[in-house]
Amino acid sequence: MFFLKAISSALLILPTLASTMAKNSSYTNPILPGWHSDPSCIYVAEDHNAFFCATSSFLSFPGMPIYTSKDLVNWRLASHVVSRPSQVPQIGLTVSQNGGLWARPGRSQDLFTTTNPYDSSSWGAPLVFPLLDIDPSIFWDDDGTTYLHFSGIHQQTIDLTTGALGPPSIIRKGFTEFIPDGPQEAPSSATTKPSPARKISQAPTPAPLQTRYKPESYFQTVGHADLFQDGSGNW
């Protein structure tokens, strides 16, 4: 089965993936132009060495487009995870700009599965489970345990059959508790850069500490992104 989670951004091709495109002398960047927030990509060797990328669709319907490529340069739409109102009947009640297909109200998340990622009708009903925060990512350990990671660098086990969750734990808190006046970790997004924290007594400066969300930036609404490997183990 293919497990794909939805996510957002103008999807950028990374220089480290250039080895998979030896026969291409040039390519268009971004490789998926337009609005493709929160890209989440995987490599599936069993499907003729294909790459798949899912992106957020928020209020759009059909939702959660799945794109596929063999070379990371030429992409085509394979299917939509959500193509029937019965899959997510609450989507018609969502009116906020940031609502829809990425995080459901009440911090519950949906996990969709399919046996044929090229057919929209093959995507099943969602597995719904509660979550403390947003942007979940699934990890399968070598011992068969499945873990759910999400915003705030939290982790908990999940049963992908029932949706049952184990107790959450914090993987990393950063340095806030230990070095209040020292460097701090910045929020997570595809365009975020770490920045030094300032003392409470220090006067603010005209320039913001964070560089994301700058209106003059070429790429906007990028969201977050995933690292993934190709068939040769390149990230």
Please say whether the beta carbons of 91 and 100 come within 8 A: yes
What's the rounded Cα separation, in Å, for the pair 121 and 94?
23
Which span out of 121-135, 167-181, 217-231 was modeled with the highest average pLDDT?
121-135
* Residue corresponding to tokens 């394979």: 78
* pTM for this predicted structure: 0.66
pLDDT greater at residue 228 or residue 222:
228
Please say whether the beta carbons of 14 and 74 come within 8 A: no
Examine the pLDDT at 199 and tell me if it is beyond 80.
no
What pLDDT is stored for residue 174 in this prediction?
A: 54
What pLDDT is stored for residue 75 in this prediction?
A: 94
Q: Where would I find the beta strands (DSSP E) of 14-136?
A: 40-44, 50-54, 63-69, 75-82, 108-111, 113-114, 127-130
Rounded alpha-carbon distances, angstroms, from residue 202 to 152, 197, 199: 27, 10, 5
What's the half-sphere exposure (Cβ side, CA atoms, 13 Å) at 161?
A: 1
What pLDDT is stored for residue 138 in this prediction?
A: 84
Q: What is the 3-state secondary structure (H, E, C) of 135-155?
A: CCEEEECCCCCEEEEECCCEE
The partner residues of 174 in beta bridges, in order of sequence, read: none
Residues 47-58: pLDDT tens digits? 899 999 998 888
Please say whether the beta carbons of 222 and 190 come within 8 A: yes
What pLDDT is stored for residue 227 in this prediction?
A: 80
Examine the pLDDT at 122 and tell me if it is beyond 80.
yes
Please say whether the beta carbons of 50 and 67 come within 8 A: no
Q: What are phi and psi of 170, to 5 degrees?
A: -90, 125
What pLDDT is stored for residue 68 in this prediction?
A: 96
Residues 38-96: pLDDT tens digits? 888 889 999 899 999 998 888 788 988 999 999 999 999 999 999 988 888 777 666 66
Rounded alpha-carbon distances, angstroms, from residue 176 to 69, 172, 181, 182, 203: 42, 11, 8, 8, 20
Question: Nearest 10 degrees: CA dihedral of 88, 134, 149, 211?
Answer: 140
Rounded alpha-carbon distances, angstroms, from residue 120 to 22, 36, 67, 163: 32, 18, 12, 23
| DSSP H stretches of helix in 80-126 | none
Neighbours of 17 (CB within 10 A): 19
Which span out of 55-69, 96-110, 163-177, 211-225 was modeled with the highest average pLDDT?
55-69
What pLDDT is stored for residue 66 in this prediction?
A: 93
Please say whether the beta carbons of 105 and 10 come within 8 A: no
Examine the pLDDT at 37 and tell me if it is beyond 70.
yes
